[in-house]
Amino acid sequence: MKATYWMLYAGLLGWHGGAAAMVTAPSQITAVTVHPGLATVTRHVTVTLPAGDEVVAIEGLPASLDVASLQVSRVSGQAQITSVEIQRQLKTVASQEDVVKLEARQDTLQDELARLDGRAQALATQMTFLQALAAAPGKVSDQALQASAEWARGVSVLGDSMQRIGEQKVLLAQEQRQRARELEVVKSELARLQQDQHESRQLQIHLAGKGAPVELLVRYQVPGANWQPVYEAGLDTRRGMLKLTRSALVQQATGETWPQVALTLATSRPQQLSAPPELNSWWIDLRDESQIRAKSTAVSQQDSVEVQALMAAPAPAPAPASEADADGHRLPMLDAGDFVAEYRLPGRLSVASNQDPQRVVLGEESQSVSLRLESAPRLDPTAYLLVDMKNSLPAPLLAGAWRLSRDGAYIGQRDLPLVAAGDQLALAFGADDAVKIQATLLEDQQGEQGVLNKEQTLVRRWRFEFVNGHDSALPLTVRDSWPISRNEQVKIEPLAGVPAPQPAEEPGVKQWQLTLQPQQTTRLESGYQVRYPYQRHLEGL
Q: Tell me the pLDDT of the chain averaged across its residues.
A: 81
Residue 184 has pLDDT above 70, yes or no: yes
Q: How does pLDDT run across 335-363, given as a tens digit for each residue?
A: 766 667 788 888 888 898 887 889 999 88
Give the confidence band of 444 by pLDDT, cuts at 50, 70, 90: very high
Burial class (CB in 10 A: 0-12, 13-18, 19+), 29: middle
Q: How does pLDDT run across 7-40, given as a tens digit for each residue?
A: 544 344 344 444 567 888 889 999 999 998 899 9
Q: How does pLDDT run across 243-293, given as a tens digit for each residue?
A: 999 999 999 988 888 999 999 999 887 766 556 767 777 775 656 656 655
The CATH number of domain 96-194 is 1.10.287: yes
Instruction: Over range 382-402, report the average pLDDT.
Output: 92
Residue 182 has pLDDT above 60, yes or no: yes
pTM: 0.63
Its sign, for the CA torsion 531, 534, 540, 541, is positive
Which phi and psi (to 5°) does residue 252 adopt? -155, 150
Instruction: Spell out the long-range contacts of 338-343 with Cβ–Cβ below 8 A and sequence spacing 24 or more.
Output: 339/268, 340/266, 340/267, 340/268, 341/266, 341/267, 341/395, 341/396, 342/33, 342/264, 342/265, 342/266, 342/267, 343/248, 343/264, 343/265, 343/266
- For the chain, the domains span 4-93+197-223, 96-194, 226-257+357-431, 435-533
- What pLDDT, on the 0 to 100 scale, is given for residue 81? 87
- Would you give the DSSP letter of residue 317? P
Residue 359 φ/ψ region, left for φ over 0, alpha for ψ in the -120 to 50 degree band, beta for the rest: beta
Residue 156 has pLDDT above 80, yes or no: no
pLDDT over 70 for what percent of the chain? 79
Instruction: Over range 367-371, report the average pLDDT.
Output: 95
Instruction: Over range 84-103, report the average pLDDT.
Output: 75
Instruction: Over range 399-407, report the average pLDDT.
Output: 94
